[in-house]
Amino acid sequence: MIARTFCLCASLAWLASSLHAAETRVWMSRKGGLLEAKLGSFEKDSVTLVKPDNQIVTLKAEELCLADRQYLVDLGEAPKSLITGGKADLVEKDYKPDKKSFQELEEKLTFSNPDAGSYTQLETPHFIVASVGRIRPHAVAETAERMWYGMAFEHMGFRKHWGDKRMLILLVGDETAHQGLCEYSISLIEGEEGRGSADESFNAEIYRTRWKRNGTNSLYLPDDLTAARKLQPVALVFNTTGDDEFKQPLSPYVVHVLAGRLLGNYMGYVSDYADQGYFAILTGHKYYKEIGLAGKSETNLLSVESTGQDVISSKSGFRDGSSWAKTLRELVRKGQVEPKLGPMLRWRLDELDPEKLVTIYSFSHYMQSDNQRLSAYSKLIRRIETSNQVPPPAEIAKIFGFDTVEQLETDWTTFIKEGDFK
Amino acid sequence: MKIHRLRLFLLSLLTIPAFASEEQKPAPPPAEAVTRDFRGTNGVVIKAAIIDKTETEAVLATRDGKRMKVALDNLVEEDRAYVKSWSKEEDVFLRKCRRLSIRQCLELRGYESFEFRFDGNHIMIDGKVNGKPARMMADTGAHTLLHDGFAKSVSLEVGPMTEKIYGVAGEQEAGWTAVPSFQIGEAVFKDRKILAADMNKDRPPGSKSNYDLLLGADFMNQLDGVISYPEQRIFFRPDRSDEDAAGGSTDFRLFKTKDGKVMRGKVVSKTPTVATLKLVNGRESQMPVSNFIEADQTYLNAWTEEGALFMEHCGGLSVEDILRLRSYQSFQIRRVPHSKHVYVDGTLNDHKVTYCIDTGAFNSLLHIDAAKRYGCDVGPMDQEVWGIGGVQPAAAVKIDKITLGSCVLTNRKLLAADLFRGDATDEDHGWIGLFGGDFMRELEAYITYTEDRFFLIQR
């Protein structure tokens, strides 16, 4: 991973030994290049890094990922303006993962339930994408690596939090295998595979219904598999039967799912007594990435009504998935939609309508619309990750530099009406 | 105008003897030294930087390279106070060594250091017990403890469950277990007796303890542990004292070349390929790093001027000094008789209180009576907390403000439970809650048992 070239407009030189002091760490550039080096110096807008072989790399600080710029600011080496200036980009758009780091494994992946299928495996630096059926894993693997890079770019703790374990993504293009995987998952949850027994509320029939209907499911892997393959404990299962959206990188639905999975993985769980807003933040992020990277939304959310338990309804934004911003802007200008943080954080899936869903999207877009806000957004996500709770509106306003929630709402509304809201 | 200023400056230098004496060898002031106006009691002003001091004199360096000794009695009171508060060690550190991490500073002093990973807010270390892989958790709020199921799985014999241990959820039985060895990194701890208990007691179906061994406050105390949340490292005391380590590193050492030459010297500078050694006979010798034997190459490659300066000039700086210079707030850890646990003073909704520093608390937790007494909005007892003793009911509480020094945490929700199990009050115990991993991660905490201090920074 570290061996990849640090593709920067860097000048190479030898420097006096007095610079060789700070601790070695892995730096990431805007283009995704990684470099193991010590901080030599920061002067004006340039950073000098010292590689382990004492070679010197000098680069413009703005060429570093936002997370590394945050590191320099926290270290007291760089002014805060390094992370607050300029427009935020969706860096996943331009990032091209090194395909040489993608390796097709000879061994097939199988599970203890033979009906769950036999999968070809593509290993990338951070994922194993395994597929059965006609879909090849390469496009999803590229999307996953690009989305991973986006998270690492923006969030200082993401890389360390991810660690050295890969996430397993299963592309299941075979009905029998999909159903077999469902049964395998049930057996894991019910404890037949040694993960312990499920709680009393687990209902296998409802689980089967949801599994079949969902485009994506989670599979909690057994400990021996995660240990042997150095995998994260939860795998992502895409039902790829009959779909072509897995053939191209950055397709809307795959972006949506991966954006949510990576952010959710980083934030971790939240306590049920302080989870208000988790849904809005996560859902907004998924749609922001989907629309920003794929140009439109094609994703509907499925809602399972809590009373009937088998009544499933679909939730989506405005019908034209490419004109959400335009439609919401008009509604806000006419006063038909009023962005309010407190109520929005309380919205649940089952009460969503298109206006609410697009308002959620607009807030995520707002939070990531320039580097100053993106830096605050990163701080908000870190706060959720450490506290296991979503801060209340007054705290969110404070994190974004406002004294009151109303001030934040005014700024957000202005962004929708007059800003770069697309 | 320029000439006029220069004349004034020269005039002031010429009048130096009134309160200063010039040194023999002029040398420029150290790079980036803080230059300021020093005022003499006779009204003379010298623009200079302080570079050393004694009880009675300050050594000043002017920008043009002059050095002079100034009697403190000849300075105005404000400047005397400045000199008194000035520390050469801190000055060298800030100018020359400020990029050294705490890890580097401690490792230079011989501390053993171990990287840990977070499991949520828990500090996890991979180690070995009785030669078998074990998941260890650093828990300053507990005593060192083995999970009995794990102990049995690594062929340890758990004694009769005749002991009682107490935790957040009450009491629990435990048995003494002889542990021939447990290992963290290269450090091996032999022949310990550790209590073992069922760490899965009352856990909900499907969930289980995420550790096999708790490294408790007793262990941290014994090894003068330092816990660094931002660096994700734990450090243990070196075998030798700091003074010995400092002396050793700056002393002359033996270097061997591949062709069999042996020389005693110390590194004075280094380029990427060439090391300059000062030999015991006073001469300097330059030699390619690649000419040395492998062990010496490793030493030379790791050598840094900052590290050498740190060891030579900053040996007296404590962890507190170094963190304070980095804008950390420092808190004195409080101890309670007959307890290894550590406590820190703060406030809860503007009431002065004391918290127990507990790295094992996934989230901070309040004692329910204190939460009510100090104006928290306490919800129904419909939540649960798990820990030693099993499970017990808890309530979600809204807190307006928690402070430790100038670190302010507002609008938080925590759980509150009966931490003292009804047998005493928080006033009896002298503390009202657990300051847990959530806050310590957010505020990038350091804990040092050597200095009994706790450090936080709010960014």
Query: According to the model, what pLDDT value does residue B208 have?
Result: 74
Residue B93, domain member (yes or no):
no
Residue B222, domain member (yes or no):
yes
Q: How far apart are CA A90 and CA B149, in angstroms?
A: 49
For residue A392, list chain B residues with Cβ-Cβ distance below 8 A.
411
Residue of B nearest to A190 (CA): B206
Q: Which domain holds residue B59?
A: 2-86
Query: According to the model, what pLDDT value does residue B430 have?
Result: 86
pLDDT of B281 over the 90 cut? no
Query: According to the model, what pLDDT value does residue B22 have?
Result: 38
Nearest by Cα to A78 from A69, A87, A66: A69
Among the partner residues B97, B118, B442, nearest to A383 by beta-carbon distance: B442
Query: According to the model, what pLDDT value does residue A277 have?
Result: 94
Name, of A12-16, A394-398, B55-59, the range with top average pLDDT: A394-398
**Residue B129 and residue B8 share a domain:** no
Nearest by Cα to A301 from A288, A291, A289, A287: A287
Among the partner residues A22, A196, A386, nearest to B121 by beta-carbon distance: A386
Residue B23, domain member (yes or no):
yes
Nearest by Cα to B79 from B47, B107, B125, B106: B47
Task: Please say whether the beta carbons of B413 and A394 come within 8 A.
Answer: no
Percent of chain A with pLDDT over 90: 53
pLDDT of B102 over the 70 cut? yes
**Residue B122 and residue B157 share a domain:** yes
Helix A371-387 and helix A252-267, axial crossing angle in degrees, nearest 10: 50
Top-confidence residue, B38 or B200: B38
**Based on the structure, what is the number of domains in chain B?**
4
Average pLDDT over all residues of chain A: 85
For residue A196, list chain B residues with Cβ-Cβ distance below 8 A.
205-208
Top-confidence residue, A20 or A159: A159
**Tokens found for residue A222:** 């057994």
Query: According to the model, what pLDDT value does residue B241 have?
Result: 40
CB proximity A23 to B under 8 Å? yes
Q: What integer is the mean pLDDT of A222-227?
A: 90
Task: Please say whether the beta carbons of A18 and B305 come within 8 A.
Answer: yes
Using a CB–CB cut-off of 8 Å, the residues of B that contact A are: 97-101, 103-104, 117-118, 120-121, 204-208, 232, 269-273, 304-307, 326-327, 362-363, 379, 383, 396, 410-413, 415, 437-438, 441-442, 459
Top-confidence residue, A71 or A394: A394
pLDDT of B17 over the 50 cut? no
Top-confidence residue, A129 or A135: A129
B438/A18 touch (CB, cutoff 8 Å), yes or no? no
Amino acid identity at B168: V
Task: Please say whether the beta carbons of A322 and A295 come within 8 A.
Answer: yes
A382-410 residue pLDDT tens: 999 999 999 999 999 999 999 999 999 99
The least confident of A27-31, A294-298, B163-167 is A294-298
Query: According to the model, what pLDDT value does residue A244 have?
Result: 74
Confidence of residue B205 (pLDDT cuts 50, 70, 90): low
A308-320 residue pLDDT tens: 444 445 666 666 6
Residue B100, domain member (yes or no):
no
Confidence of residue A30 (pLDDT cuts 50, 70, 90): confident
Among the partner residues B396, B411, B459, nearest to A391 by beta-carbon distance: B411
**Residue B352 and residue B420 share a domain:** yes
B361-405 residue pLDDT tens: 999 999 999 999 999 999 999 999 888 877 889 999 999 999 999
Looking at B236, B253, B274, the residue that finishes a domain is B236
Task: Please say whether the beta carbons of A168 and A122 come within 8 A.
Answer: no
Q: What integer is the mean pLDDT of B45-71?
A: 89
CB proximity A228 to B under 8 Å? no
Among the partner residues A196, A274, A389, nearest to B207 by beta-carbon distance: A196
Query: According to the model, what pLDDT value does residue A314 have?
Result: 60
Task: Please say whether the beta carbons of B450 and B227 come within 8 A.
Answer: no
**Residue B436 and residue B333 share a domain:** yes
**Residue B258 and residue B192 share a domain:** no
Confidence of residue A225 (pLDDT cuts 50, 70, 90): very high
pLDDT of B358 over the 90 cut? yes
Query: According to the model, what pLDDT value does residue A303 have?
Result: 52
Residues in contact with A288: Cβ distance below 8 Å, sequence separation at least 6, in sequence order:
A259, A361, A364, A365, A368
User: How deeply is A83 buried, as exposed, middle or buried, from its count of CB atoms within 10 A (0-12, 13-18, 19+)?
Assistant: buried
Domains along the sequence of chain A with CATH: 11-84 (2.30.30.700), 99-264 (no CATH), 272-418 (no CATH)
**Tokens found for residue B123:** 């500090």
Q: What integer is the mean pLDDT of B446-450?
A: 92
Query: According to the model, what pLDDT value does residue B271 have?
Result: 80
Enumerate the β-bridge partners of residue B330.
B455
B325-339 residue pLDDT tens: 888 999 999 887 767
Shortest Cα–Cα distance, B44 to chain A (Å): 36
Top-confidence residue, B240 or A217: A217
Residue B96, domain member (yes or no):
no
**Residue B231 and residue B116 share a domain:** yes
CB proximity A125 to B under 8 Å? no
Query: According to the model, what pLDDT value does residue A301 have?
Result: 62
Query: According to the model, what pLDDT value does residue B8 have?
Result: 31
Query: According to the model, what pLDDT value does residue B376 have?
Result: 97
pLDDT of A375 over the 70 cut? yes
**Residue B232 and residue B194 share a domain:** yes
Q: What integer is the mean pLDDT of B289-306?
A: 86
Backbone angles phi, psi at B213, to 5 degrees: -145, 130
Helices (H), B226-293: 242-250
Confidence of residue B244 (pLDDT cuts 50, 70, 90): very low
Residue B263, domain member (yes or no):
yes
**Tokens found for residue A383:** 């706060």
pLDDT of B428 over the 60 cut? yes
pLDDT of A353 over the 60 cut? yes
pLDDT of B28 over the 60 cut? no
Query: According to the model, what pLDDT value does residue A81 have?
Result: 87
Element housing B71 (H / E): strand B67-71
Query: According to the model, what pLDDT value does residue A419 have?
Result: 80
What number of CA atoms fall less than 13 Å from residue B242's CA on the CB side? 17
**Residue B147 and residue B192 share a domain:** yes
pLDDT of A304 over the 60 cut? no
Element housing B351 (H / E): strand B351-357
B363/A271 touch (CB, cutoff 8 Å), yes or no? yes
Residue of B nearest to A20 (CA): B304
For residue A20, list chain B residues with Cβ-Cβ distance below 8 A.
270, 304-306
User: For testing the chain B interface, which of A385, A386, A398 should be mutated: the one with the most B CBs within 10 Å?
Assistant: A386
Q: How far apart are CA B274 and CA B351, in angstroms?
A: 61
Average pLDDT over all residues of chain B: 84
Q: How far apart are CA A2 and CA A10, in angstroms?
A: 17
Confidence of residue B20 (pLDDT cuts 50, 70, 90): very low
Domain at B390, CATH number? 2.40.70.10
pLDDT of B135 over the 80 cut? yes
Query: According to the model, what pLDDT value does residue B7 have?
Result: 32
Element housing B238 (H / E): none
- How many beta-carbon pairs below 8 A join chains A and B? 96
Element housing B256 (H / E): strand B253-256
A23/B101 touch (CB, cutoff 8 Å), yes or no? yes
Confidence of residue A34 (pLDDT cuts 50, 70, 90): confident
Domain at B302, CATH number? 2.30.30.700
The least confident of A142-156, A287-301, B167-181, B397-411 is A287-301
Residues in contact with B427: Cβ distance below 8 Å, sequence separation at least 6, in sequence order:
none
Shortest Cα–Cα distance, A23 to chain B (Å): 7
The least confident of A93-97, A282-286, B269-273, B319-323 is B269-273
> Tokens 């847990």 identify what position?
B436
Element housing A27 (H / E): strand A24-28
pLDDT of A6 over the 70 cut? no
Residue B253, domain member (yes or no):
yes
Q: Measuring CA to CA, how many Å separate B435 from each of B140, B249, B445?
A: 11, 38, 11
Backbone angles phi, psi at A20, to 5 degrees: -85, 75
DSSP symbol at B94: I
Among the partner residues A195, A273, A398, nearest to B413 by beta-carbon distance: A273
Strands B390-404 and B383-387, bridge-based pairing = antiparallel
**Residue B348 and residue B396 share a domain:** yes
Query: According to the model, what pLDDT value does residue B422 have?
Result: 66
Query: According to the model, what pLDDT value does residue B389 have?
Result: 78
Q: What integer is the mean pLDDT of A236-241?
A: 92
Q: How far apart are CA B294 and CA B363, in angstroms?
A: 47
Query: According to the model, what pLDDT value does residue B78 have?
Result: 93
CB proximity A164 to B under 8 Å? no
CB proximity A24 to B under 8 Å? no
Residue B98, domain member (yes or no):
no
A395/B269 touch (CB, cutoff 8 Å), yes or no? no
**Residue B386 and residue B401 share a domain:** yes
Query: According to the model, what pLDDT value does residue B242 have?
Result: 39
Task: Please say whether the beta carbons of B285 and B279 come within 8 A.
Answer: yes
**Residue B412 and residue B434 share a domain:** yes
pLDDT of A412 over the 50 cut? yes
User: How deeply is A311 buried, as exposed, middle or buried, from its count of CB atoms within 10 A (0-12, 13-18, 19+)?
Assistant: exposed
Shortest Cα–Cα distance, B266 to chain A (Å): 15
CB proximity A55 to B under 8 Å? yes
Q: What integer is the mean pLDDT of A267-292?
A: 92
Backbone angles phi, psi at B329, to 5 degrees: -90, 140
Query: According to the model, what pLDDT value does residue B25 have?
Result: 40
Confidence of residue A197 (pLDDT cuts 50, 70, 90): low
Confidence of residue B432 (pLDDT cuts 50, 70, 90): very high
Shortest Cα–Cα distance, A22 to chain B (Å): 5
User: For testing the chain A interface, which of B271, B309, B310, B413 should be mutated: the one with the most A CBs within 10 Å?
Assistant: B413
**Residue B254 and residue B218 share a domain:** no
Count of H-run helices and E-run strands, chain B: 13, 32
Residue of A nearest to B309 (CA): A18
Among the partner residues A39, A160, A198, nearest to B99 by beta-carbon distance: A39
Query: According to the model, what pLDDT value does residue A192 have?
Result: 52
Helices (H), B123-172: 148-153
